[in-house]
Structure 1
Amino acid sequence: MKYNDEEKNIIDAYNSGKMKLTTPSEKELEDIKAAAKNTFRKNKKITLRLYDHDYHGIQKKAFEMGIPYQTLISGLIHQYIEGELIPKKSV
């Protein structure tokens, strides 16, 4: 498995004894559970107008991936916001 620099530093610190694992408190567990629940809660509905060609294309791609087309659209928007989509280079 490949690790990034931050992960390597954590593993090294743990292996050298500089970092110890502890059991989280009940409060910490509740906070973690609440954060996880809120992370995946979609709480906004929008109406979106698309070109017919784009609509059918997104449906086709979603079908090929085995997911609902709304999920694909939501995922693409999220990736764009997080800076994970790489723009095409112009020729």
Structure 2
Amino acid sequence: MEVEKSTTLDHKEHEGGVVPFESNNLTSHCRLRIEAAFYLKARKSIRKARRSFANYKTKMTSLRRPDGTVTASRRAMEKVIYDFYSDLFNSRVYLPTHHLR
């Protein structure tokens, strides 16, 4: 059985209606259904299954630096993230004391 890539919009059921979605989203939709079926068969919570699926689905493959360049190196991504959060939580900004209460 051969599966064709469709250029038209497919449809899925959503809360009583039909919502169109593109063919490239079909894979993630199928993965979600398969994962839910697996957890149902194992008699585990659907909520836990969805949370687990959402937590482990996405991996960061690249990161855009503040200057606009894209890096795919893990070490470079760690440095960009470290610099971002260091600047974010840096305490060099003056805040009047009445704002801190």
The alignment's TM-score, normalised by the length of structure 2, stands at: 0.27
- More contact order relative to length (CA 8 Å, sep ≥ 6): 2
The structure whose Rg is larger is 2
Larger strand proportion, structure 1 or 2?
Answer: 2
Question: Relative to total residues, which structure has the larger helix share, 1 or 2?
Answer: 1
